[in-house]
Amino acid sequence: MSIERSRINAPRTTPTNKKYQGLLIAGCLVFVILWSSGWIGSKYGQGYAGVFTLLVYRYSIVVFLLFIAVTLTRSWRRLSGSELTVHAGVGLLSHGVYLGLCNSAFQMGVSTGVVALITALLPMITSCLSSSVSGEVANRRQWLGLFVGLVAVMIVIADKILLGGAPVAYLLPFVGIFAFSVATLLDRRFSIKTKRRRKISTPLPLVCLIHCGSALGLFIPIAAVTEQFSMNWGYELAFSVLWLAIVVSIGAYGMMFLMLRHLSAIKVASLEYLAPPTTMLIAYFMFNERLSLIDFCGLVLAGIGVYLVLSAREGNANKARQLSVSRRLKDACSSQSTHTPWVMYLGKIDIHLGNPDTTRR
């Protein structure tokens, strides 16, 4: 009887399911390519403008688009001094410090692939926070996959330092990740206080505008003092700025939101490990950055780590926790809760915190 019941209850594979899975896989591939192109576009643009000058032009476009979005959605609100301070501080850390340091590492000789590998440590933070915040508990197979991905990152970095790389240059992205994590915790703490006081949360478009505007306010004086806004204007620089502002800042993070509706946060975050190998391959053709045997080993290990995470099945207890969290956050969805910073615009911090708007429905 048990065998017959299991056959009856087993999900059937239909053409619709196959089509859905195919579209989901295609979406993941497109997301990884767009996500990886962010570091490529940043290094490409630095050939025609300074680090912070490029960020000024990039964020100017993003802030302009967000200003239009806030106006069209009628999201303007009067904020208290404490609210404005918290949102601005989160934006400075998650946008200004994070991207500023990671992009500065390029000028100190760190390759795009290595920077992508270092920033791929963020899923480890995701898996730690998801247990207590979003209710998604990683099982042993997923923890093994995350650990394998971490080992892949550390092997490649250690090899670069042994070959004569400046340790300070490789330290910059780590400091950027730390700033990113502090921004996550700061925003989450403020969000919890807001819910406890039953205050109306600030609309997300306005929060994003404050985040990016504060980062732009940091980039402008640094670019003016250290680079004097020097640049070689041409279609190459224009293409780089538009690609970073529109395709990466809006397109890549928009796709992340879409995938979070169909995959768990841990699985989406694990795709971050596919960004380094993709970045390395693109950089090989664009910048002639050679891949050593250690690099290839790191790529293989990263791929194994992603496979272990994505192939792990979610237990019933995990699904029950997600359902419970989804119910508890139902009110937050209807009231447009603050969420978290639009990381590197909108995606990663929301992954960490289990954005209620992106919870599977």
**Domain edges within the chain:** 30-358
Please, what is the Cα angle at 46 between 217 and 152, to 5 degrees? Answer: 100
Query: What is the share, in percent, of the chain residues with pLDDT greater than 90?
Result: 18
Lowest mean pLDDT among 182-196, 268-282, 293-307, 326-340: 326-340
Give pLDDT, residue 8.
45
The model's pLDDT over 88-144, given as tens digits with 9 standing for 90+, comes to 998 899 889 999 999 999 888 888 888 887 887 766 655 555 555 545 566 788 778
**Whether pLDDT at 11 is above 50:** no
Nearest to 358 by CA among 266, 261, 221, 293: 261
Give pLDDT, residue 132.
54
The model's pLDDT over 106-118, given as tens digits with 9 standing for 90+, comes to 888 888 888 887 8
For the packed helices 98-107 and 167-196, what is the interaxial angle rounded to 10 degrees? Answer: 170
Query: What is the share, in percent, of the chain residues with pLDDT greater than 70?
Result: 71
Residue 279 CA to its chain's centroid (Å): 15
- Name the residue with higher pLDDT: 299 or 3: 299
Taking all residues of the chain, what is their mean pLDDT, rounded to a whole number?
Answer: 75
Mean pLDDT for the stretch of residues 292-313? 76
Mean pLDDT for the stretch of residues 289-305? 79
- Name the residue with higher pLDDT: 262 or 237: 237
Dist CA 98 CA 172 (whole Å): 9
The model's pLDDT over 246-265, given as tens digits with 9 standing for 90+, comes to 888 777 766 765 676 677 66
- pTM greater than 0.85 (yes/no): no
Please list the residues that pair with 231 across neighbouring strands.
49
User: Cβ distance 270 to 123 under 8 Å?
Assistant: yes
Alpha-carbon Rg for the chain, nearest whole angstrom, is 21
pLDDT band at 356, cuts 50/70/90? very low
Dist CA 99 CA 94 (whole Å): 8
Give pLDDT, residue 16.
57
Nearest to 144 by CA among 287, 306, 280, 33: 306
pLDDT band at 68, cuts 50/70/90? very high
Give pLDDT, residue 101.
94
Mean pLDDT for the stretch of residues 317-335? 44
Distances in Å between the Cα of 343 and the Cα atoms of 80, 129, 215, 280 are 23, 16, 11, 23
